[in-house]
Amino acid sequence: MTEVEETLKRIQSHKGVIGTMVVNAEGIPIRTTLDNSTTVQYAGLLHQLTMKARSTIRDIDPQNDLTFLRIRSKKHEIMVAPDKEYLLIVIQNPCE
């Protein structure tokens, strides 16, 4: 478990990272550094988006699968690392 802690701490300590969260397949946030309401919002919305993205990739090529999802917006970048059961979501402010 300490590995998890370490990993998450390391990620959070990187330059520009605003928040980190881990969400499970049901959309329940397991671990988060942001406040509850934001987390819940992110979790719900990004979960759906990731599912859609994944299905798109698989529709185009069934052999293919989604490995990473990056959404760059005006204010920051949302990075989603999907897995079968969990989602690791990081919000970063890229150096500009």
Partner 1 sequence: MEIVYVYLKKRSEFGKQCNFSDRPADLNVDILPNPKLAAQFVERNPVDMGIQCSVSMSEHEANTERFEMETRGVNHIEGGWPKDVNPLELEQTIRFRKKVEKDENYINTITQLGVIMEHCIKQNNAIDIYEEYFDDEEEVEVTEEASSAKTINVFRDPQEIKRTATHLSWHPDGNRKLAVAYSCLDFQRAPMGMSHDSYVWDLENPNRPEMALKPSSPLVTVEYNPKDSHVILGGCYNGQIACWDTRKGSLVAELSTIEFSHRDPVYGSIWLQSKTGTECFSASTDGQVMWWDIRKISEPTEVVILDITKKEQLENALGAISLEFESTLPTKFMVGTEQGIVISCNRKAKTPAEKIVCTFSGHHGPIYALQRNPFYPKNFLTVGDWTARIWSEDSRESSIMWTKYHMAYLTDGAWSPVRPAVFFTTKMDGTLDIWDVMFKHSDPALSLKVCDEALFCLRVQDNGCLIACGSQRGTTTLLEVSSGLSTLQRNEKNIASSIFERETRREKILEARQKEMRLKEKGKAEGKDEDQRDEELATNLEEMVAKAEKEFFDIIFAELKKEEAEALEKKAKAPKKLSLEADEEEEEGEEAGEEEGSDEEKSA
Judged by the rule CB under 8 A, the positions of this chain that interact with partner 1 are: 1, 3-4, 7-8, 10-11, 14-17, 22, 24, 26-28, 30-31, 40-41, 44-45, 47-48, 67-68, 70, 72, 77, 79, 81, 83-86, 88, 90, 92, 94-96
Q: Which is nearer to partner 1, 62 or 94 (CB)?
A: 94
Q: Which is nearer to partner 1, 30 or 55 (CB)?
A: 30
DSSP 8-class letter at 6: H
The minimum distance between CB 11 and partner 1, in angstroms, equals 6
Q: Report how far apart, in Å, the C-alpha atoms of 39 and of each of 14, 16, 20, 71, 96 are.
A: 20, 18, 9, 17, 25
Asked if residues 5 and 20 have their Cβ atoms less than 8 Å apart, the reply is no
Q: Which is nearer to partner 1, 16 or 56 (CB)?
A: 16
Q: What is the Cβ-side half-sphere exposure of residue 25, based on CA atoms within 13 angstroms?
A: 3
The minimum distance between CB 65 and partner 1, in angstroms, equals 13
Q: What is the Cβ-side half-sphere exposure of residue 63, based on CA atoms within 13 angstroms?
A: 0
